[in-house]
A and B are shown apart, each in its own frame.
Chain A
Amino acid sequence: MSDRPVSEMTFEEAMKELEDVVGQLERGDVALDDSIKLYERGAELKKRCETKLKEAEEKVAAITLDGEGNPAGLQPVEGQ
């Protein structure tokens, strides 16, 4: 188990650790107390993954450029 707070993890990090947790639980070589702690950690990681998956938001913007070709702002792109 890493010490990193789950709430700070990227989707990929949470996913990797969730995989680890499941693997450990399935091997069944963890003490009962520890396996309950692992399960709780796993549940937290699963929730984090689900949250990140729900953040699926489509937002498309085009960068507007100034006279010298440098980005000046954003302009929403609709109906693509």
Chain B
Amino acid sequence: MSDLIDDPTPGLNEPEFSVTEISNAIKRVIEGEFGHVRIRGEVGRVSRPRSGHLYLDLKDEKSVLNGVIWKGVAARLSVQPEEGMEVVATGRMTTFGGQSRYQIVIEDIKPAGMGALMAMLEKRKQMLAAEGLFAPERKQPLPYLPEIIGVVTSPSGAVIRDILHRLRDRFPRKVLVWPVAVQGEKCAAEVAHAIRGFNALEPGGRIPRPDLIIVARGGGSIEDLWGFNEEIVARAAADSQIPLISAVGHETDTTLIDYVADKRAPTPTAAAELAVPVRLELMAWVDGQGARMANALSQTITSRGQRLRDLSRALPRPDTLLDTPRQRLDRAGERLPAALITGVQRRRVALSEASGSLRPSLLARQVATERRRLDNAAPRLAQGLAKAVQAKGEALGRRADRLTLGPIRRELARQSDRLDALSRRLSEAGTRQTGEWRRRIDALDRLRETLGYKATLKRGYAVVRGEAGVLTTKKAAEQATALEIEFQDGRLKLGGGGGGGGTARRAAKPGKPPEQGSLF
């Protein structure tokens, strides 16, 4: 055991580093060894936090190297690194001990040759073209004579001077300069902002809104012009509602903004020429138009006057125009009296023809004829009358003949017969009726006789009467002063007083029972 413990392991006596000590040692070695390096690689992931520093990866097929570009350096870069860009980065290596990492602090970064830069630009161009930003139908026509021209450029420099100078030559206009950086890191953002800023101005506002924008920059290296290849600039130009002329660099330089601009000018001076017409030429043109117009009008009037004269020459003279009618009038005038006379003569012939047949003898003959007819008729009038009376008389006679007593008598006889018959029937009926009635009366009388008290009297009954009529009671008989008894063959009067009464009573008494007996 002790052997093992005491046996020293080789190297145990070497000094020990703390983690920080070794980190710092490594940092020293690396920063000392790689204080200035140039590294070629492809840009990988790029991030731009709000701090303004720029973090990116450099890579090749096998390895990745972290890199950082501090804010101040990043602002100075003419070409901003983008993912996929082939670059050469210059800087120093350093470590980041806190995370056991090493990285390069880039002091400059450039595209690795023109080819890389152009390839990137081509890629961007294809993307924007695919979006249709370069389409000809997107291009707006430039105003013929803009009132206000907005120029996006550097306020100091030859470019704005050239533009103003050319404008003054052609047609002095109001110009608004929006100052921007035309190269460096700020360039793209400022140019894009300026284009959008001009568009955002209200027409008639405090700052007047231009009706044409010129984005201009003088010539320079491709890196100098690179800001105008940036996507934000191209998009701002494409979005511009105000027609936009791009004039960046020299004639041979083409930047991305040239593709989206409504018009591309090869130089700033050319942009001014595109922007405005030449005033003097226009004045001459206007004068020319005025002259042509005056000429045309006078020509119109002249030609019409000529035409009028031509026409009036073709018009016949009034005299000749009237000759023919006048001749006709003369001829008609000559024929008028003759015609009148002829007319009168013709009528006269007709009259004489008519009056020739109109003679008194003709009338007299007619009168005589009529008279003869009258004379013939007159005697026949009385005859006719008499004949008519006679005829009527005869007709009356005929009628009267037919009017005899025969039919009436026959009618009377017939009616009388009917009356006799009816009387006979009446008397027969009456006799029959009365006979009937007599037979019935006889029968009834016989019945009456049989039923009457007289018959009863034959059977021995008597009727007792007082002064007041028939007495039927003993009491009434006693009271009666005189009684009368009727028998079958007559009446017996019993004297007055009691004797009478007694008799009556006696008479009455026997009177009663027969009656009663007959009743039973």
User: Residues of A with Cβ closer than 8 Å to B?
Assistant: 10-12, 15, 18-19, 21-22, 25-26, 28, 30, 32, 35-36, 39, 42-43, 46, 49-50, 52-53, 56-63, 65, 69-71, 73-74, 77, 80
Contact = CB atoms under 8 A, between A and B. Distances in A.
Contacts of A18: 286, 289, 293
A53 B276 CA distance: 12
B389 interface: no
Nearest to B292: A22
Contact of B207 (A43, A57, A63): A63
A22 B177 contact: no
Contact of A53 (B175, B197, B286): B286
21 contacts: A10-B144, A19-B289, A22-B293, A35-B300, A39-B297, A46-B286, A49-B286, A49-B289, A53-B279, A56-B171, A56-B279, A57-B174, A58-B164, A58-B175, A60-B177, A61-B174, A61-B176, A69-B190, A69-B193, A69-B197, A71-B178
B132 interface: no
Interface residues of B, number: 43
Interface of B: 143-145, 155, 160-161, 164-165, 167-168, 171-179, 190, 193, 197, 201, 206-207, 279, 282-283, 285-286, 289-290, 292-297, 299-301, 303-304
B464 to A, nearest CB: 160
B164 A60 contact: yes
B179 to A, nearest CB: 6
A80 B300 contact: no
A30 B176 contact: no
Contact of B300 (A11, A28, A56): A28
A80 B207 contact: no
A63 B122 CA distance: 34
Contacts of A42: 289-290, 293
Contacts of B304: 32
A54 B164 CA distance: 18
A2 B261 CA distance: 33
A15 B144 contact: yes
B175 A11 contact: no
A72 B327 CA distance: 99
A28 B303 contact: yes
Given A46-B293, A58-B172, 15 more contacts: A10-B144, A15-B144, A25-B293, A28-B299, A28-B303, A46-B289, A49-B282, A49-B286, A56-B279, A58-B168, A59-B175, A63-B177, A63-B179, A69-B190, A73-B207
Contacts of B167: 58
A28 B301 CA distance: 10
A49 B283 CA distance: 8
A39 B297 CA distance: 7
Contacts of A10: 143-145
Contacts of A22: 289, 292-293, 296
Nearest to B148: A59
Contacts of A62: 155, 176-179
Contacts of B289: 18-19, 22, 42, 46, 49
Contacts of A53: 279, 282-283, 286
Contacts of B143: 10, 12
